[in-house]
Amino acid sequence: MKLRIITVLLSIASLSAVAQQSVPKTNPRFDGLDTTFQRVLKTWHAAGFAVAVVQKNKVIYAKGFGYRDVENKQPVTPNTLFAIGSCSKAFTTTLIGKLQKEGKVNIDQPVNNYLPGLKFYNEVMTNHITLRDMMSHRTGLSRFDMSWYLFNTSSTDSLLKRIQYMEPNADIREKWQYNNFMYMAQGALIEKLTGKSWGDNIKEKFFAPLGMTHSNVSIPELLKSGEISKGYGVKPDHTIDKLDYYNIDGMAPAGAINSNVNDMAKWMIAWINNGKYEGKEIIPEDFRNQAISSQAIVEGALPEKGSLNTYFGNYGFGWFLDSYNGHYRVEHGGNIDGFSAISSFFPADSIGVVVLSNQHGSKVPVVVKDIIVDRLLHLKYQDWISKIKNEQDKAELASAKEKKKTITTQHNPSTHPLAEFAGSYSHPAYGTMKIYVENDSLFAKSKIRTYWLRHANYDIFELFDKDPKDGVNTTTGYAGFNLQFHMSLSGNIDGFEAQLESKLKPFLFVRQEDIKQIKAPQ
């Protein structure tokens, strides 16, 4: 009997030892991160974020911090869904890479050969711009983001038509200039060649084979999901402000994917492992190598004084490229209303980091990524929280000073009563802006924004954002551009100019003849 008891006890002890051995040990490289990341949340007054770290073909760290829903105190987890913004771009270019492997497209042929509906500003552009140019942002077009952002539409055809009215400010391949429209156009081409929507292609070619079971491609799909994050901004008094989701279905290929860090980690693993995940090719290897190779020079200057450890700055296909402390780095950020993200990996070191946050225009993803990368690469400690916060504070101070310069101190009266400025004004590269009078003030309304027009000088008006909840804030709500109304030879208001693109001359919005006055929206 004693022998049996001893045998059982020995067996239990043996099983206990095996169980203890099977529990993964805590990676010392992540020691103290909980405390550090709480400091990140506090410094940026952030709601929350999630982070995942991959090494070779495994996830070695995944955790959430803060809240996905501040009001209801619902915590962020590695399964929390966030909008990933422009981190979506590499998915779109990889669909092009798959089409090229299938022989359906040649990225070095004029894109107009495959998408005749895409016309550029002149015949030279139409006849010579290729998919390689579009994927690497070297078409000669600057951003034109106000076109899709202020004048949003779900119609891809409508957005495509706007491109032919976008005047270039450089020759083809002369320089790198980020342009979201070129990614929307890639999506249109994908749909034409496959007969399926961009979203269905993403799900079929990537989400399904990678097991990205929680990810989706639109706000309506996100709202039907389980563990979703709300998006937030930060008010001037540092309180958290909930923002509405922004549906960019018309521009989806440029940045509409919603995902969590567990799903995105699988995407990172495929890129690190020459395009394969669990032995299956997800990304054509030849395309993968081109995508993370320099296709355009973003910044040709020498390293700055404060960033001597970062060398060169180029762009591949949906990826920014540089060298950090001698380690080749591939990454892309993402920003959309209420959310910021970053995907970053080091192909030669076989490591990757994904950070998703529910804070608008936030530095949190970059800070968290840099903290972890230094640990993974066994680099000297840097206080990234203080460093990036100080840089941000200096930039904001400089921006505030610049805004003051743009606001005139002269106040000569306008040439017409306010009611005579009311009307509907259009530009073919943008859309229609409605100007209307409400009480004793002039307002401008685009697809998603309403602005109060404060008279500045003569027929120049400063625009201040009118928040649906908080109203007009003249301290921080300056829109960044003014309107200057124009008169016809007969003395009537016939249009206005607006500096919507910093690198180009102001755009003239022409008043529609058939609409003389617009009433306030109901």
Report phi then psi at 464, rounded to 5.
-125, 130
Rounded-to-integer distance, Cα 132 and Cα 391, Å: 34
Identify whether the C-beta of residue 428 lies closer than 8 Å to the C-beta of residue 417. no
Calculate the CA dihedral of residues 318, 322, 328, 332 and round it to 10 degrees. Answer: -30
Report phi then psi at 76, rounded to 5.
-80, 135
Span 28-393 CATH architecture: 3-Layer(aba) Sandwich (3.40)
Spans of the chain, pLDDT less than 50: 1-25, 514-522
pLDDT for 399: 76
pLDDT for 121: 97
Within 10 A of 377 (CB to CB), how many other CB atoms are there?
15
pLDDT for 7: 37
Q: Is 289 strand, coil or helix?
A: helix
Nearest by Cα to 323 from 313, 315, 333, 331: 313
Over residues 384-428, the pLDDT tens digits come to: 999 999 999 998 888 777 766 655 567 899 999 999 999 999 999
pLDDT for 477: 80
Rounded-to-integer distance, Cα 213 and Cα 387, Å: 37
Identify whether the C-beta of residue 354 lies closer than 8 Å to the C-beta of residue 52. yes
pLDDT for 116: 96
What type of residue is 342?
I
pLDDT for 398: 84
Burial of 399 (0-12, 13-18, 19+ CB in 10 A): exposed
pLDDT for 12: 34
Query: Topology of 418-511 in CATH?
Result: Lipocalin (2.40.128)
Nearest by Cα to 118 from 161, 156, 158, 181: 161
pLDDT for 406: 57
Q: What angle do CA 384, 387, 389 make, to 5 degrees?
A: 100
DSSP state of 30: G
What type of residue is 58?
K
Dig out the tokens for 237 from the structure: 């008094």
From residue 440, alpha-carbon distances to 190, 325, 417, 516 in Å are 50, 59, 11, 18
pLDDT for 407: 54
Domain boundaries, the chain: 28-393, 418-511
Beta strands 351-357; 423-426: pairing state = unpaired
DSSP 256-288: --EE-HHHHHHHHHHHHTTTEETTEESS-HHHH
Identify whether the C-beta of residue 494 lies closer than 8 Å to the C-beta of residue 459. no
Rounded-to-integer distance, Cα 444 and Cα 437, Å: 9
